[in-house]
Amino acid sequence: MRGAIWFVAGAGAGIYAMVRGRRAAEAFTADGLRDRAQALGVGARIFRDELAIGKAEKEVELREWIGAMADPQKQIGAAGAEQHRLGLNGPTEDPKQNTEGSTP
């Protein structure tokens, strides 16, 4: 029984080494090197595209943020925007928003 276990383990290791050796030999042939070069080109192209997409998204985000900084009405918590929201600049168009002096 003990010999059979070692025989199976040795056979498995031999098959594993044979497969790995075959893969390594195929990788260093002309076709294998050409395939690896093409795969590297595809990977670089995908990386470039992902980088361009991320750059464009961040640029839009930064432009929106800069635009909000330039326009005080768009700023969160700006004095003018806060007064407008509270109805302190006069009557608003929606009577439900301007409830100063009225009882519910």
> Domain residue spans in the chain?
2-86
Who contacts 13 (Cβ-Cβ below 8 Å, separation ≥6)? none
How many angstroms separate the CA atoms of 64 and 79, rounded? Answer: 20
Helix (H, G, I), strand (E, B) or coil at 90: coil
Confidence at 98, pLDDT banded by 50, 70, 90? low
Mean pLDDT of the chain: 80
What's the pTM? 0.47
pLDDT band at 102 (very low <50, low <70, confident <90, very high): low
Please, where are the H alpha helices in 1-95? 2-27, 30-70, 79-86
Instruction: Say yes or no to pLDDT of 51 above 60.
Output: yes
Residues 58 and 52: their CA atoms lie apart, in Å, by 10
Q: Give residue 1's pLDDT.
A: 81
